Amino acid sequence: MKARSSSAGAKFAESMFRHYGSELHRYLLRRLQHMQDAEDLAQEVYVELIRVDKARFIRSPRAYVLRIAANVASDFQRGADVLRQRISFDSRTVDHLTEYPAQIDTEDMAARLLTQRQLGDALGNLPPAHQAAFVLQSRDGYSYEEIARRMQFSVRKVERLLAEAREQLQASLGAIAPEQREKAGDRETP
């Protein structure tokens, strides 16, 4: 039964892309203004269309495809907005360093900036929905239920997104950590 519905979803998605694929790409390109982003999100739309269980109940397939595209593009843009806001400053540290510039440890500051940049890169490599869910929880303190409401997902999907985001971030940052430990070890030895 599951294989049939998956196969039916794939056929539905293929049919929608045959009929509305060009229009979908133009729509996404107008919204995002970057070809690569439009192509990536078109793939997300395709995945969403594969998941459709009861395609026969869709009265206006074109409107349905474009609504999915609008939702995916909005999620992507929310994630991009959140990522632009990710750099935050500790005002006490900034005040202290402004008053006492001689106490600035340039190596420590460079390591912090590198780590922050690497975290930003790792976050940037997450799919838009994963980025948004992760930032809403870790930075903004939203609960799973609040994230689900805000992103219009089920709580179960939010749990899955956050688990996958953490796994991907750990893998990305875990690959970086050994290099940083080696550099730190080099500094400590005379």
Per residue in 91-130, pLDDT (tens digit) is 566 666 667 666 556 676 677 666 777 777 788 888 888 8
Stretch 33-54: mean pLDDT: 85
Residue 184 has pLDDT above 50, yes or no: no
Using CB atoms within 10 A of its CB, is residue 17 exposed (0-12), middle (13-18) or buried (19+)? middle
Highest-confidence range of 26-30, 35-39, 120-124, 174-178, by mean pLDDT?
26-30
The domain limits of the chain are 2-83, 86-188
Q: What is the pLDDT of residue 87?
A: 43
Residue 131 has pLDDT above 70, yes or no: yes
Phi-psi map region of 152: left, alpha, beta (phi>0 left; psi -120 to 50 alpha): left
Question: Both ends of the chain: CA-CA distance in Å?
Answer: 67
Stretch 120-145: mean pLDDT: 84
Fold of 2-83: Rna Polymerase Sigma Factor; Chain: A (1.10.1740)
Q: Which CATH number is 86-188's, of 1.20.1260.10, 1.10.3720.10, 1.20.120.420, 1.10.10.10?
A: 1.10.10.10
Round the average pLDDT of the chain to a whole number and report it. Answer: 77
pLDDT tens across 62-100, in order? 999 999 999 988 888 776 655 555 444 445 666 666 676
Alpha helical stretches, state H, the chain? 2-32, 35-50, 61-84, 91-99, 106-124, 128-138, 144-151, 155-188
Q: What is the pLDDT of residue 96?
A: 65
Residue 3 has pLDDT above 50, yes or no: no
